[in-house]
Amino acid sequence: MFLRGQQIGTEEVTVTRTADGWTLTATGRTGPPLNFSFDRFVAQYSPDWAARSLEVSGQMRGQALVLNTTFAGGTATSDVVQAGQQTKLSHAVSAGAIVLPNNFYGAYEALAMRLHAADAGAVFPVYVAPQAEVQATVTKVTPRRMETPVTTYEMRQFDVSFRNPGGALVVEVWVDARGRLARMAIPAASLSVVRSDLTGVMARLDSYSHPRDEDVSIPANGFSLAGTITTPENVTKPPVVILVSGSGPQDRDETVFGIPILGQVAGRLADAGFFVVRYDKRGVGQSGGRIESTSIEAYADDVRSVVEWLRRRKDIDRDRIAVVGHSEGGLVALLSGSRMRGQVRALGLVATPGQTGREITLMQQKHALDRLNEPEALKQEKIALQLKVMDAVTTGTGWESVPPELRRQADTVWFRSWLIFDPAQVVRRTNQPILILQGSLDTQVPPDQAGRLEALSNARGVKTPNATRKIVVPGLNHLLVPAKTGEMDEYQSLPDKTVSTAITDALIAWLKDALPAKR
């Protein structure tokens, strides 16, 4: 179980089938903020998944919780003991209702079995024991594929909308080919629950594929980067584009809210005649290395490894290599270009910051606070705390005034490298043509950052053709897809999961100018 990307607990779940029906049993423990543990969870169903009984015993925030529910004649009868108070409840339930008590994720195995044969539009009654029955509707079904060193799992993601009294709640439920639960997530709560065989460092979501994709292993500094090359058709010694993903544990496709950003870009570049490389970041997916010790400088070292690997190949034009980065990946591209001016010929900066990480972090926090209905004094307290955290990260002192849980999150090698990274210092050490590409509705890295990068690039005095080109595409957000507001809280509901062709068309046109064929 993960909350905002941090593991907070585990459940061990067993699904048993006999001639008499199905039994789900589980034990589990969840840390803060839930502080919940249980030593008994038993849900019994008939062979056709009609609920028979539910037994639960555990502790919620240090207080005992016991729940016993029986189902008969269209009624769920529950005996509940919580915080020393005993209650008896009865609710009418529909035939075939799925029993999903809150905070017991093994219970979703029953939903997975029912979803296995379902299509978009299917409706299921769900009994949230011991509270009420609600209706669950499948709003979307998406094929998914996960690769591990052992096998490839073909799955389907069901987006299920629960019609709760307080409003609809969307839950993503991934079901494997056997009808077993592989993953479930509640995006609104930043909560995800993933089966253990799919959480290993070598597991990778295959969210995008191209007919000319080929998986490769690229030697790096003591480990290998797992990547994919996408080759053009009928092009001898093609120019090369290395794609670098943004911040966080991104795989080679940089799939964010169901949008495989770099996967889609790679396919279109290859169709336009480029040899494209994309790879899992170190410590992510099938790449080696340790993610906890990474920094922007380390990520630039990985780009160098990719360039050196490419230059040993005989099927590409080693004198026409470009590095294109999205978001933080643009900073990695800049640093790589400043270090390899003789090997990297062009740099693409897509939705890339033009200020220090410290300035961007403050800007993003102020933007988020401006959208909250909170007293101004409280907002200023949060900004002051953020300043203390950033000062402690960069100086190594002052942690005594920062809550321990914040230190655990912020005191990392990467965050320090991000805070002190200054594009102005790096751009002046580059001499390659630079493309600055941006969506006009980007609220994570606003369009004014493109203007800053343009000014920095022009100040270099580089006189080569196409030394600096800035393009801002109307109506696109940070994920490079059409949006209404561009705000992060809109990402989950975006109907269009396709990177705008305006982005890739602009990128292709610039690459052809920046990497001209030899005469």
Same domain? 403 vs 451: no
Strand partners, 64: 59
Check if the beta carbon of residue 389 is closer than 8 Å to that of residue 412: no
* Residue 310 in domain: yes
* Residue 236 in domain: yes
Same domain? 40 vs 131: yes
Same domain? 118 vs 152: yes
Residue whose tokens read 């509640």: 186
The C-alpha angle with vertex 173 and arms to 167 and 177, in degrees rounded to 5, equals: 155
**What are the tens digits of pLDDT across the range 72-90?**
999 999 999 987 789 999 9
Q: Of 417, 434, 456, which residue constitutes the final position of a domain?
A: 417
Neighbouring C-alpha atoms within 13 Å toward the C-beta of 377: 0
What single DSSP character describes residue 118?
Answer: -
Per-residue pLDDT of the chain (519 residues; tens, 9 = 90+): 887 666 788 999 999 999 999 999 999 998 877 788 999 999 999 999 999 999 999 988 778 899 999 999 999 999 999 877 899 999 999 999 999 998 899 999 999 999 999 999 999 999 999 999 999 999 999 888 887 777 888 899 999 999 988 888 899 999 999 999 999 988 878 788 999 888 765 666 666 778 999 999 999 989 999 999 999 999 999 999 999 999 888 889 998 888 899 999 999 999 999 999 999 999 888 888 888 779 999 999 999 999 999 999 999 999 999 999 999 999 999 999 999 999 999 999 999 999 999 999 999 999 999 998 889 999 999 999 999 999 999 999 999 999 888 888 889 999 999 999 999 999 999 999 999 999 999 999 999 999 999 999 999 988 887 899 999 999 999 999 999 999 998 887 888 889 999 999 999 999 999 999 876
- Range list of β-strands (E), 48-151: 51-60, 63-72, 75-82, 85-92, 98-99, 123-128, 132-147
Q: According to the model, what pLDDT value does residue 495 have?
A: 85
* Residue 378 in domain: yes
Check if the beta carbon of residue 245 is closer than 8 Å to that of residue 260: no
Distance, in Å, from the CA atom of 199 to the CA atom of 190, rounded to the nearest integer, reads: 17
* Residue 278 in domain: yes
CA distances from 187 to 53, 135, 193, 208, 491 (A): 30, 19, 11, 21, 10
Residue span of the structural domain in which 447 resides: 204-355+421-513
- Phi, psi at residue 433, to the nearest 5°? -60, 140
Residue 126 tokens read as 């769900």
**What are the tens digits of pLDDT across the range 435-444?**
999 999 999 9
Q: Of 402, 417, 432, which residue constitutes the final position of a domain?
A: 417
Distance, in Å, from the CA atom of 122 to the CA atom of 138, rounded to the nearest integer, reads: 5
Same domain? 35 vs 110: yes
Same domain? 154 vs 302: no
Check if the beta carbon of residue 483 is closer than 8 Å to that of residue 448: no
- Count of CB atoms situated within 10 Å of the CB of 493: 10
Distance, in Å, from the CA atom of 514 to the CA atom of 464, rounded to the nearest integer, reads: 10
From the number of C-beta atoms within 10 Å of its C-beta (0-12, 13-18, 19+), residue 69 rates as buried
Q: Which residues, other chains included, contact 408 with Cβ-Cβ below 8 Å and sequence gap of 6+?
A: none
The C-alpha angle with vertex 484 and arms to 188 and 423, in degrees rounded to 5, equals: 85
Residue 8 tokens read as 């907070």
Same domain? 247 vs 157: no
Residue 244 tokens read as 């670098």
Candidates 62, 32, 49, 143; CA nearest to 100 is: 49
Stated length of the chain: 519
Distance, in Å, from the CA atom of 324 to the CA atom of 218, rounded to the nearest integer, reads: 18
Locate all alpha helices (DSSP H) within 157-260, ordered by sequence: none
Same domain? 399 vs 469: no
Same domain? 54 vs 128: yes
Q: The domain spanning residue 263 has which CATH number?
A: 3.40.50.1820
Q: According to the model, what pLDDT value does residue 206 have?
A: 65
| Type of residue found at 360 | I
Distance, in Å, from the CA atom of 167 to the CA atom of 185, rounded to the nearest integer, reads: 17
Torsion of CA 249, 255, 258, 262, to 10 degrees: 160
* Residue 519 in domain: no
| Type of residue found at 414 | W
Q: Which residues, other chains included, contact 103 with Cβ-Cβ below 8 Å and sequence gap of 6+?
A: 30, 34, 36
CA distances from 216 to 206, 276, 280, 464 (A): 14, 12, 11, 34
Q: Of 176, 198, 220, which residue constitutes the final position of a domain?
A: 198
Q: Which residues, other chains included, contact 168 with Cβ-Cβ below 8 Å and sequence gap of 6+?
A: 161, 162
Number of domains the chain is built from: 3
- CA 414 to chain CA mean position, Å: 17
Same domain? 268 vs 181: no
| Type of residue found at 215 | D
Residue whose tokens read 């102005």: 424
Same domain? 124 vs 260: no
* Residue 468 in domain: yes
Q: What pTM, to 2 d.p., does this model score? A: 0.72
Same domain? 178 vs 233: no
Same domain? 298 vs 409: no
* Residue 397 in domain: yes
* Residue 518 in domain: no
